[in-house]
Amino acid sequence: MSTKLTILGCSGGIGSGRHTTCLKVDDDVLIDAGTGVTTLDFEQLLKIDHVLITHAHLDHVLGLPLLLDSVGDLRDTPVVVYALPEVLNVLSAHLFNWHLWPDFREIPSIDQPWLRFQPIMAGSSLTLGQRRFTPLPAHHVVPACGYHLATPTGSLVFSGDTTHSDAFIAAVNAIPDLRHLIIETSFENALVEVARASCHHWPDSLAAELGALTVEPEVWITHLKPGNETAIMIELSDTVPGWKPKALIQGQVIEL
* Three-point CA angle 4, 167, 229, nearest 5°: 55
- Report pLDDT for 34: 98
The strand pairing partners of 122, in sequence order, are none
**Model-level pTM?**
0.97
Q: Give the C-alpha distances (Å, rounded to integers) separating 69 from 6, 66, 204, 230.
A: 23, 5, 42, 37
Is the Cβ–Cβ distance between 146 and 138 less than 8 Å?
yes
List the chain pLDDT tens, one digit each, 256 residues. Answer: 799 999 999 999 999 899 999 999 999 999 999 999 999 999 999 999 999 999 999 999 999 999 999 999 999 999 999 999 999 999 999 999 999 999 999 999 999 999 999 999 988 999 999 999 999 999 999 999 999 999 999 999 999 999 999 999 999 999 999 999 999 999 999 999 999 999 999 999 999 999 999 999 999 999 999 999 999 999 999 999 899 999 999 999 999 9
The strand pairing partners of 48, in sequence order, are none
Of the candidates 12, 9, 7, the residue with the CA atom closest to the CA atom of residue 233: 12
- Report pLDDT for 243: 94
CATH architecture of 4-255: 4-Layer Sandwich (3.60)
How far is the C-alpha of 207 from the C-alpha of 6, rounded, in Å?
A: 26
How far is the C-alpha of 176 from the C-alpha of 211, rounded, in Å?
A: 17
How far is the C-alpha of 55 from the C-alpha of 116, rounded, in Å?
A: 17
- Report pLDDT for 105: 98
Residue type at position 131: R
Is the Cβ–Cβ distance between 53 and 120 less than 8 Å?
no
- Report pLDDT for 16: 87
